[in-house]
Structure 1
C-alpha cells in the first residue's frame, strides 16, 4: 500500500474520524483508524466502537491500493504536527512509514482482519440545514443529563411528523424543547427516536458547517440506528433503548404571571451575583412592578444584589434558581428579551424568547426550569 495526500486534508480527516475513539476500548483494535486506499484515488478513513461509527473520504494519489489499521489518536497527533507539505504513506510488513518533508515516522499496524464491519448507513429520511441543526441541538442538549447511570436521560427525544422535528431533553431539573422544520424524504413520515445528546452535539459541531445535512433513521429493524451525512463524512450511532418519560405535559397550559427582561443584561447580572453564590446555593429573583432584583448569599457570608428593569404582568413573585441552570437557559435563547412565565413560586418556570419588550414570545424554543425552594 502506497499513497500521497495533502497534509491539511489528511489532518482534518484523521482528526474528525478519530474524535469518537474510546479512551478505554473494549478491544485493542477499536483504538485504531482503518485506512483504505482505493485505485480510483479515494482514501477512506473509518472508526467504530460498536456504538458510534465515523467515515470520511478524501482524495489521494494512490500508487498501491490497500487497507491498514493504525492507532487513531497517534496518527491524529502526528498528522497535525507535520509540516505543510505532501505526506507519503508506505507499508512494509507490519509497519507504516509516514514521510512529510524532513519528518519521518514509523508506526506499527494493527490486525485489520480483527476489525469489526461498520454498520451500513440507513436510508436517508430527510435533509436539514446545518446551521439550523447546530443552533437547535445546542439549545436542547443543555438540558440533557450527563449522568450515565440514567442512560435514558442522556438522550434527546426526536419526534418527526412530516416537515416538523421536535427535540426534547431533560435531566429532571430542567426541560428543553425545540421545534424546527426540515425536508423529509417522505411527506407523511412519522417516527420517534432517542438519540444520544453527546452524538447530536458532536454531529452538529462537526457537520453543521457543511450546508445541508442528510439524516437517516432506521427503527424497528432489529438494529436501531441514526445516521448523518455531509461533505463526504458519514457517522452512525445506535439509538438509546427505552421509553422516554412523558415530559411534554410538564409545560403549563396557562401562566397567570409573566415577566419580560432584556436577556443580555440579565445574563450579565446573574453572572455577577453568582460570584457570591456558594456551591448548591441559589440566585433569588424578586419580581415587582418595573423591576427584578437578583440577590445571592446570606447571613455572615458574602452577599450581592442587583436590580434590572423588567415588565411584570400579574402579582409580585419571588423565585430562586440554580445559577448554572439559569445561565444555561438564558444563553440558549438567542433573543433580545426573555419571558419568564409563572404559575406558582415553587412550580417550574417557563423561559421563552421575545424580539421586543412588548412583542409576542416564540414557542419554537421553550426552557422549563424547576426553582429551588428557599426560606422567605
Structure 2
C-alpha cells in the first residue's frame, strides 16, 4: 500500500472516522482505523459492532493495500502535520507517514481480525443537512441519559410521506420536532429508535454536506440498522448504527388538544430571569412561576434560606395560575426554541406546560413539554 493525499483532506476524513471509536473497546482491533487504498481512491473506516463510520476521499494511489492502525493516534498525528502533502506506505508490519520533514512510523494491527462493516440499507430519502442537524439538536434536548432505561436514550424517528417527526423523552420532559424531506416513495411510512448521542453527532458532522441521504429498512437486508450519507470535501461520508430495541412510549397523546391558559413572553428576558432566580434554588427544587394580571413572577428559595424574586411583563390569555419547574429543564427547552417570543400553554397548574415559539408562519415545528415540580411551601 502506498498513496499520496492532501493533508487537510486526510486530516478531516480521519477525524470524521475516528470520532466513532469506542473509549473502551471490547477488543484491541476495535480501536483501529482501517485504511484501504485502491484505484478508486482511499477509504477510512471504523466499527465497534454498533456504529460504523466510512469516509471516502480522492488520493494518488501508487499501490493498493489495506492497513489497520490506532485511530486516535492517527487522528492526533494528522491534526499536527504541516500544510503539505502526506505520503503513507505500508512496509511489513508498520505504516510510515511522511509530511514534509515530519516522519512517523505506526505499528499495524491484524486486518484479518477486524469485523466486516455492515452494508448501508436501501436509501429511504434525502433531507437538507443543515435543517436535519438543527432539528436533531432540538429533539435530543429531552433524550434520557440513564443507561438503565436504554429505550429513553434514543430518538424516535417517524417517517410518514414527506414528513419526519423526531420524538425524545426522559419521563420528565418531551420534545417533538417535525420537518419536511424528499422520500424515495411518496407513501413511505416507517419508524426507528436511534441512539440519541450517535444521531446528534452524526447530524452535526453532516450539517454542511448539502443533501443527506437517510437509509432505513422496513425489513429484510439492513433491518435494525439506519444509515446516513452525505458529501464531504474530496469524497463521501457514511455512518450506520444499530437501532435500539424496545417499545418507545406512546407520548404523542401527552400533548393536550386544548389549553386554558396561554402566556406569551420574550424568550431572552425569560431565560435571563430564570438563570438569576435559580441561583438561590437548592438542588432538585423548583422555580415558581406565577401568571397574574399580565405579569409573570418568578420565585425561588424558601424559609430561612436565600430567596429571589423577579417579574416580567407577559401576555396572558386565560386563567391566572401558579406552577413550578426544574429550572435547568426549563432553560433547556427555552434554549432549543428558535423564535424570540415563546408561548407557554397550560391546561392547569398541576399538568405539564407546552413550550413553543411564536411564529408568524404558524406551526413553529418544535414543541417541548415539561412536567411541573412540586412547590415547597
| Structure 1 residue 200 displacement after superposition | 1.2
The 1-side partners of 2:283 and 2:78 are apart by: 42
Larger deviation: 217-226 or 62-71?
217-226
Instruction: Output aligned runs, 1:1-376, within 5 Å.
Output: 1-40=1-40, 42-221=41-220, 223-231=223-231, 232-355=236-359, 362=363, 364-376=365-377
CA distance in 2 between partners of 1:369 and 1:75 (Å)? 44
Q: Which runs of structure 1 show a deviation greater than 6 angstroms over 4 or more consecutive aligned residues?
A: none
> What secondary structure is seen at the aligned counterpart in 1 of 2:298?
strand
Q: Deviations over 1:304-327 (max 9, x none)?
A: 221111011122111111111001
Deviation at 1:267, TM superposition (A): 0.9
Local SS of the residue matching 2:208 = helix
TM-score, with structure 1 as normaliser: 0.96
What RMSD over aligned residues (CA atoms) do the two structures have, in Å? 1.3
| Contact 1:161/1:190, CA 8 A, preserved across alignment | yes
Paired residues of 1:219 and 1:225 also in contact (CA < 8 A):
no
List per-residue Cα deviations over 1:18-60 (Å, max 9, x = no partner). Answer: 10110111111111010001123x1100000111110001111
- TM-score of the superposed pair, with normalisation by structure 2: 0.96
Note if contact 1:339-1:361 (Cα within 8 Å) is conserved in structure 2.
no
Q: Displacement of 1:362 after TM fit?
A: 2.6
Following superposition, the deviation at residue 300 of structure 1 comes to 2.4
5+ unaligned residues in a row in structure 2: which ranges?
none
Deviations 1:161-213 (A, max 9, x none): 11111111100000011111100000010111111111210111100111110
Structure 1: where are the runs of 5+ without partners?
none
Q: What CA distance in whole angstroms lies between the structure 2 residues aligned with 1:219 and 1:227?
A: 13
Q: Is the 8 A contact 2:216 2:225 kept in 1?
A: yes
Alignment length, in residue pairs?
372
C-alpha contact (below 8 Å) 1:259/1:341 kept by paired residues: yes
On the 8 A contact 2:163/2:180 being kept in 1, the answer is yes
